[in-house]
Structure 1
Amino acid sequence: HGNDYYLNVVEMAPEQRETALEAAKQRTLQFLYFIQNDLGFSQLGLADDEFPTADRLPFLPYHREGRRIQGLARLSLNHILDPYAAGEPLYRAGIAVGDYPVDHHHKERPDAPKLEFPPIPSFNIPAGSLIPKTVDGLLIADKAISVTNIANGSTRLQPVILQVGQAAGALAALAMKKGKLPKDVPIRELQDAVLAYGGYLVPSYDISPEDPHFQALQRIAATGILKGRGEPHAWANRTWFYPDSTITLGNLREALIAFAPGLEETPADTNALASLENIAPLLVALALELRSENAPLESTDHLLGYLEERWASAPYQLSQFDATRPLSRIEIAVLLDVLLDPFHAKAVDASGKWQ
C-alpha cells in the first residue's frame, strides 16, 4: 500500500487541487525510488511509451474511492454475501458483475475502524445503483455509483466499472431513443441490451457468454427461479449454477411458486428428479398464470409432442429428447426461457422488486 495517498479534492479550488495532486505525484515517485534503491529493483521504472506526459505519469490519478450517490438502489455487503436473503432482491436488476474480495487500505490511518472483512462470492450490480434518487436525466458510473463504503472495496475494480460504464451508455441510448428519462426505461429492456453486447446480468462461473444457452440461463437466473451458489475463492470469487446437474421436482416447484404464487395447488411428487413428463403440468399451469402465448395449452401430451418436434432446433438447441429422463438445470432454463419467457413476463424496478 506504499502508493496510497489520502486526498479529498472535491471542495478545493483549482489551484489548491494542482498543489495537492503534485504532492500525491511526489509520493508515487518516492515509492518508486524506494523500490529501485532500497529494495534493489533497479530495473523497474516508469514506461516511456505509455503516457505522453513530461513525468511519464498518467493524466489523472487513480481514485480508489470518492463521493457516491444515493441511487434508486444501494448495494451493500449484505446483498453481496447472500443476494437471495438480503431483503431487497437487487440481483434481479443486475447489469454488471464482479468477483473481487472486499479490499480497503487504511494502513496510514490508525484512527480508521479495525474491520475484518468476510469472504464473499462473486456478485452483480443493480441498475438502480447508476440512477440518482433525486436528480433526473443523470447517470452515474465508476466509483460514484450507489454502493456502501464497504461494498466499494469490491465494486471499484476496473473490470466492474467498465461494465457499469457500458450499461450506463446503453441506458442513456435507450432513454434518448424512447424519449424517456433513464429512470423510466424498463429494466428488462436495459438488461436485454446488456446481454446483446455480451454482458452479464448475474455472475456465472460455470457457463460463459460463448455457450449457446448462456443468455437463457442469465434471464432465468435474473428471475430467481434458478439460483446460483456463491463461493469465496482467493482473489477471484465464484458463483456456480451447475448447468449439467439435475434438480428435484419439489425444489423446482418451490422456485416456480415463489415466482408465480398461483401455482400452489399444482400437485407434484417432490422427491422425484424433474423430467419433461413430470414438469409438464407445471409448465402448462405456469403458461396459464403468465398468459403465455408461446406454449400450447391443450394438454400435457400436446405440450410434449410440441417440444419433441422442436427439441433439437433453434432456439432450444437441446439433445436427446426423452420425456422420462431427468432434465439438467440448463435444459430447464432453456425450456422456461423459450417456452414461457418469465424474464419478460414480470417486470422489475431498478431495485429488483416486481412491478
Structure 2
Amino acid sequence: MRDRLLAAEKVKAIEWRDGALYLLDQRDLPFEENWIACTHVAAVAEAIRSGAVRGAPAIGISAAYGIVLAARDREAEGGDWHGALEADFALLGDAGPAVVDLAWALERMRDRLGRLKGHAEPLAVLEAEALAIHESDREANLTMAQLGVDLIRKHQGNAQAILTHCNTGALATGGFGTALGVIRGAYIEGMVERVYADETRPWLQGSRLTAWELAKEGIPVTLNADSAAAHIMKTKGVTWVVVGAERIAANGDVANKIGTYQLAVCAMHHGVRFMVVAPSSAIDLSLANGDDFPIEEQGGEALLDVGGKRLDAAVDVFDPGFDVTPADLIDVIVTEKGIIERPDTAKIAQLMCRKRLH
C-alpha cells in the first residue's frame, strides 16, 4: 500500500532548494499557483503571519527552515550569533502563537542549536535538522494514512461517502496530508465513492484548498455549504467524518477549525463515525482538557464582507477561529504512534509513552 500512496503524491506546498525556502502561496489558490521565495527569516515569519503558509505541520516545518536562514545571516554578522538567534526564534514564535507544531519545531531547533558547541559545520547540522523535521512529517503522514485506511476497511469496506472540514492535505503538511491523507489513501484502495468538502466559513479553506486539491488528484468531490452537513449525513450515505486537529488536550478533547464541533454532534446523531487525524506533536499534555484551549477570535472582516462590499450595519461580530470537540464525541484519534478508540486521559497518556508505532 505504501508504494501506491507514494505514487499518488501530486501536490506539495513546501520546497527547500539551493539554500532557500519556497512556499506555495495559499492565499492565491485556487486561482493562481504562485511560489514565495524566502531567503531570510523575516519572509518566513510574514508568510506564517499572513496565511501564505497554513496548516499546523506546514507552519512548523517552515519555521524550522526559517531558523536555518536566520542562522546563516547571524553567523555572517559575526559575534555571538547563537545568542542573537533568540530574536529570530521569538519572531517566528510570535507569527503563530496558537500553533503547537510551531512551538514544537522551534524547540527542536533550539535543542539542536544547544548541542552545536565546537561543531565544524553548524549551519549544515541545523539544515539537516530542518530537513529531518520535514521528512519525519511526511513519513508520519504516510503512517497515519495507512492506519486510517485500515480503520475504514475494518468498519465499512465498500465504497462510501466521507465528509471532511477545512484543509488537512498536502497543502497543510509536509507531504501526504493528515485527514485528507487518510481520505486519499482510502480512495486509492477503492473504498471512497465521493468526498463531501465543507466550504469552511469564513475563510473558505474547504472551497479554496480542499476541493482544489482533491479535484487536482482526480478524486470525486462535492463542495457544500457548512450548514448542509447534517442534511448530507442524513441523505447521502456518509459513513465517516474525517478531520484534522490544531491541538489535542490530555483527555482527548480536540481543538480544530471552527465548525468541527457541530459536525461531531451531527455525526453522533446520525450514527456516522468521527475520526480525528493528527501527528502526536499536536497532543499537548499541559492542557488537561478543552476548557484550557486558548481560542483566538478573528477580526470578523470575512463576515462583514458581503458580495464584495463592507456591511455597514452596526452589528457585533463573533468570529472564533477554532472550537473544541469533546472527547466523548470522537470515535477514534489516529496518530503516527498508533490509534486511540474512544479517547480518554489514560489512553492518551499511554500513546504518548510510545517511542514508535507498535
Shorter chain as denominator, the TM-score bin is under 0.3
TM-score (ref. length: structure 2): 0.25
Q: Which has the higher helix share?
A: 2
TM-score normalised by the chain length of structure 1: 0.25
Higher relative contact order (Cα pairs below 8 Å, separated by 6+ residues): 1
Larger Rg computed on CA atoms: 1
